[in-house]
């Protein structure tokens, strides 16, 4: 059973999501939070597998709550999906930087929300091609900087750097395998080893690193 915590300041929204999630045979809502402070407290008390976190809440907002939860080593098994009405680039990137495993807007289809919970609980990131394209477009609008070489990548092999760049471009394991002419299992192994070496939780954070270290540049990404 996947244990879920809902964090949203609107009672009606929480009730709707709870009814949907509890209707699934493999998902159970274990707690509801009205703000970020309560979300942190209840996450520590209930240890949910997945938190659906609104961004704009009174007091401690969803991004700050996400940072606090994911900084707690005792909560290393908890995954967070940011759920909001605001489909804005700065929220997407800040959520991923904070360590969120996914990002969904509230008009997501019910079946897609249920699948998102399952995907994130399974250890994968929920970063749709559409969100990846918006991240790329956001970077393309920024003034060009000359990035300094990142020592963070020094432990990666050339192939692993290539794989991280492809993940940053929004490619799935299957697409990476086709690009590199390897098996999907081999592609998955390269992704997993890169995550371990870089100390990240999932593919979403690999995307952030790919941008921050200039493994992915707007020109490269737009051409894929």
**Weakly modelled stretches of the chain, pLDDT under 70:** 86-90, 127-151, 217-224
Q: What is the pLDDT of residue 25?
A: 96
* pLDDT number for residue 80: 94
The whole model's pTM is what?
A: 0.70
Alpha-helical regions (H) of the chain? 11-22, 36-46, 62-70, 89-98, 110-121, 129-141, 158-168, 173-180, 184-198, 203-212, 218-222
pLDDT of residue 91: 73
Could you please report the per-residue DSSP string of 119-180?
Answer: HHHTT--B--HHHHHHHHHHHHHSPP--PPPPGGGTTS-HHHHHHHHHHHTT--HHHHHHHH
* Integer-rounded Cα radius of gyration of the chain: 18
pLDDT at position 223 = 41
The predicted-structure confidence for 164-185, as pLDDT tens digits, reads as follows 999 887 788 888 999 999 999 9
Query: What is the per-residue pLDDT across 66-102, written as a single tens digit (0 to 9) for each?
Result: 999 988 989 988 999 988 776 665 677 777 777 888 8
78 CB-near residues (< 8 Å, 6+ apart)? 43, 47, 48, 49, 50, 51, 69, 70
The answer to whether 221 and 166 are in contact (CB under 8 A) is no
Q: How far apart are CA 179 and CA 74, in angstroms?
A: 38
Query: In the prediction, which pLDDT does 54 show?
Result: 92
């Amino acid at each position: 059973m996947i244990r879920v915590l809902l964090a949203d300041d609107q009672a009606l929204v929480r009730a709707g999501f709870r009814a949907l999630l509890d209707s699934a045979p493999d998902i159970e809502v274990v707690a509801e939070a009205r703000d970020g402070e309560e979300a942190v407290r209840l996450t520590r008390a209930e240890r949910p597998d997945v938190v659906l976190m609104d961004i704009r809440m009174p007091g401690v907002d969803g991004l700050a709550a996400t940072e606090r939860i994911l900084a707690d080593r005792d909560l290393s098994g908890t995954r967070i999906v940011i759920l909001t009405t605001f489909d804005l680039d700065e929220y997407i990137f800040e959520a991923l930087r904070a360590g969120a495993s996914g990002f969904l807007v509230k008009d997501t289809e019910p079946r897609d929300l249920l699948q998102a919970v399952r995907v994130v609980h399974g250890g994968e990131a929920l970063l749709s091609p559409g969100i990846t394209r918006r991240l790329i477009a956001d970077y393309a609008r920024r003034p060009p900087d000359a990035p300094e070489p990142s020592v963070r990548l020094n432990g990666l092999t050339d192939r692993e750097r290539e794989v991280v760049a492809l993940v940053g471009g929004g490619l799935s394991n299957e697409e990476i395998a086709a690009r590199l002419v390897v098996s999907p299992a081999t592609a998955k192994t390269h992704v997993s080893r890169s995550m371990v070496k870089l100390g990240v939780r999932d593919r979403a954070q690999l995307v952030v690193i790919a941008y921050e270290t200039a493994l992915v540049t707007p020109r490269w990404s737009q051409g894929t």
